Chain A
C-alpha cells in the first residue's frame, strides 16, 4: 500500500529541496538505502500516532522557518571545562574555531572528509543503528538525516579519553538548515565523554549513532541553545554491549520546537542505560522527549528521568517506553516524567509505556504534573528571598533529580550554573 497523497506530496517536496552531498565513497550505498527508507515511510504527519502531541510540519517543510539569532555568549555552558572543541557553524565544520582533537585513545574524523577513506568501523555503523531503530516505530526524520547529512564526526574511543569532546554548534544564519550525523564507537573497556552545546541552526536535524562495546562507557551531556525560534529534531541511537554504560543528559532552555528521540538497545548482559532531561520552557515553546529503551539481555538496568518546567503557554511532551523482551530476566527499568506548571497556560502531555515479556523483572514508571509547592516557596521568602528568586530556587530544586543523573560533578555544576543564569535573565 502506498503513502497517502498528502504525505507523499510533503515528502517529495522536502526531498526535492535536498541533494545527496557525496557521489561516491562508502557512505553512498548507505545513504541510498536510507533514502529508500524515507520514501517508503514518508515524513511524519500529525496523524501518525507517534507524533500525536507534536506538530512535525516545521521540521518537514521544504524551506526552513527563520529563527532569531542570539549572541553566542548566551550559551557559554562548559566554558570552564578543559575540553576539546569541535565547532560547527550553521552545520558546517569550522577548523579555525576548533581545537586539535589529538589525544590518547581517541580517533576523530570528519564525515565530510572521511567518505573516501578506509574507515571500516564507521562503515559498519553509519545508518545501521538508525535502520534498526525504525522498528517498531518509523523515524523518517532520522533516515532523512542518514541520506542527506552534510557533515558530522566519526569518533572512535579505544581507551580512556582524558578530555571530553565538546561538539559546539553555533547558529549565525537566520534560515540555516543543518543536517549533522555523528557516529561514535566506544571500544571494549574504553571511556568517552561527549558534550554538545549551542543552538546549531534555525532548523537542525541531527543523528548520533553510538555503539558501546563490552565494558565500554559513554557519557553524553548536551545543553541545547536558547534561540527562541529554533526548530530541532534530534535522534540518538545506541547499542550497548555486555557490562557497558551509556548515560545521556540533555538540558533545554527554550527553542520554538524541539523533538529529542533516544532509542537504546541493551543487547549485552549487565548493561546500564540512563537517559535524563531537564527543560525550562517559557512562552512559545514546544519540547518533546521521546524515548524507547529495549531490554534484550539479562540483568540490565535502565533509567529515564525527565523533568520539565513550563510557563506562559509552553508545552512539554514526554513519550517513554521500556520494552523488555522475552528472556531479558532481572531487568531493572525505571521511568519518571514530571512537570512543574508555573501557570495555568502551560501544558504537559505524557505517554509512559511498559511492555514486558519476561517474568522476573522490576520495572516502574510514573508521571505527574503539579504546581509550585507554596509551603516551600513561603519558607524561602520568609528568609528574605524575593518571590522571583525563590521561584527560581524552586525550579532548580525540581530539576535537581534529572541534573543529578550527570555523573561528573564539574559538568553537573556547569549545567546548574548555566540553568541558574538563564533563569536569572528570564526572571519575571
Chain B
C-alpha cells in the first residue's frame, strides 16, 4: 500500500533538511502509529506525502499502491486515495461545508472516471454519516470549520474522510485539543472506517489516542528518521519512560 523509501525533504525557504531518509511501509488493512518528540519531522512527513507546497523532496520515493505520489499535485494524490486529517483544520468563511464536501467528492469521482454523485444521494449519505459521528445537521450548513470547536473540527475531518473513502489515511495529531469524550467519538469514527483495503498512519504525541485506535505497528521518529519500530507495546514504553531511553539507545 504506502511505501516510503529513503525520503529526504527540506524546507524550501530555509534550505533546512527536515526528513533525513524516512523508510516506512504500511500494508493494506494496517494501522501504523508514528510517535516522536516535537520537531522530529512527523507533521512534515504528512505534508510532504500529501503535496503541500514549501517543501523540496531531495531524495527518495513514496508510492501508494504502486503510484508515485511525489510526481502528483495535491488534488491528484487525494484522488489516488490519500487523505490527510489536519492537526489544525483551516476555517474558510463564505464556503459552505456541504458545498465544499460535495465539490471534493465529485472532483475525486471525476478524476477516477466515476459518475458524479447527485445532490440527493450526497445529502442522504452525508446526513447518515454525520449522524454516526454525532455532528449536528446545523453544523453542516455553516461555512467550512467556521465557529467549530476543536472537537467539532476534528469530527468534521473524520466526516470528510468517511465521505471521500480514501485508501490511505494520515491523521496528524488528531488528538490535539480533544477532550476525552471527543477523542472517543473521533476514534470510533476512525475505527468504523478500518477496512482490509485501507491503511492508516496515525501521528500522535501520546499513548491515549492509541488506547482507542489500537495500532499494528508503532514507529518512533526522531531527527527526521524512523529510529525504532515495534508493536503496540512500544507506545506504552514511551508513555512510561519518555523518549530519552530510546534516543540514547540509538545514539
Contacts and interface: CB of A to CB of B under 8 A. Distances in A.
Interface of A: 373-376, 378-387, 389-390, 393-394, 396-401, 403-404
A378 B103 CA distance: 15
B22 to A, nearest CB: 20
A379 B86 contact: yes
B10 interface: no
A379 B101 CA distance: 12
17 contacts: A373-B90, A375-B90, A376-B92, A379-B86, A379-B90, A380-B92, A381-B78, A382-B74, A383-B83, A383-B101, A383-B160, A386-B75, A386-B107, A389-B107, A396-B94, A397-B94, A401-B94
A397 B93 contact: yes
A376 B100 contact: no
B51 interface: yes
Interface string B76-115: 0111000110100110111100001101110110010000
Q: Which of A380, A387, A390 has the most B CB atoms < 10 Å from its CB? A: A380
Contacts of B83: 382-383
B228 interface: no
A393 B73 CA distance: 18
A400 B93 contact: yes
Most chain B beta-carbon neighbours within 10 Å: one of A374, A375, A379, A390: A379
B103 to A, nearest CB: 6
A375 B52 CA distance: 8
B103 A385 contact: yes
A383 B51 contact: no
B164 interface: yes
B73 A383 contact: no
A393 B92 contact: yes
Contacts of A383: 75, 78, 83, 100-101, 104, 108, 160, 164
B164 A378 contact: no
B143 interface: yes
B111 A384 contact: yes
B53 interface: yes
Give me the 4 closest cross-chain CB pairs, A-B, nearest first: A400-B94, A384-B78, A383-B104, A384-B108
Contact of A378 (B53, B100, B108): B53
Contacts of A389: 103, 107
A379 B92 CA distance: 10
A398 B94 contact: yes
A400 B95 CA distance: 8
A397 B86 contact: no
Given A384-B104, A385-B104, A400-B143, A379 B89 contact: yes
Nearest to B106: A384
Contacts of B94: 396-401, 403-404
A382 B111 contact: no
B90 A382 contact: no
B97 to A, nearest CB: 12
Contacts of A379: 86, 89-90, 92
Contacts of A404: 94
B211 to A, nearest CB: 28
A304 to B, nearest CB: 19
B207 interface: no
A304 B89 CA distance: 30
Q: How large is the interface on B (under 10, 10 to 19, 20 to 34, 35 or more residues)?
A: 20 to 34
Q: Is the interface of A mostly helix, strand, loop or mixed?
A: helix
A378 B88 CA distance: 13
Contacts of A400: 93-95, 143
Given A375-B90, A393-B100, A381 B75 contact: yes
A381 B90 CA distance: 12
Contacts of B93: 397, 400-401
A393 B95 contact: yes
B75 A387 contact: yes
A374 B92 CA distance: 12
Contacts of B100: 380, 383, 385, 393
Given A381-B75, A396-B94, 16 more contacts: A373-B90, A378-B74, A381-B51, A382-B50, A382-B77, A383-B78, A383-B83, A383-B100, A383-B101, A384-B164, A386-B107, A389-B107, A393-B100, A400-B93, A401-B94, A403-B94
A374 B104 CA distance: 18
A155 B207 CA distance: 71
Interface in B133-188: 143, 160, 164
Contacts of A403: 94
B73 A387 contact: yes
Given A379-B86, A381-B51, A385-B103, A397 B92 contact: yes
A59 to B, nearest CB: 33
Contacts of A396: 94-95
A382 B164 CA distance: 11
A403 B164 CA distance: 30
Nearest to A395: B94
Contacts of A376: 90, 92
Q: Which of A373, A385, A393 has the most CB of B within 10 A?
A: A385
A227 to B, nearest CB: 27
B228 to A, nearest CB: 29
A385 B89 contact: no
Interface in B31-76: 50-54, 73-75
A373 B100 CA distance: 17
Contacts of B53: 374, 378
A188 B175 CA distance: 58
Contacts of A397: 92-95, 143
B119 to A, nearest CB: 14
B154 to A, nearest CB: 14
B102 to A, nearest CB: 10
A385 B86 contact: no
A382 B51 CA distance: 8
Contacts of A390: 75
A373 B52 CA distance: 13
Nearest to B81: A384
A384 B107 contact: yes
Contacts of B111: 384
A124 to B, nearest CB: 42
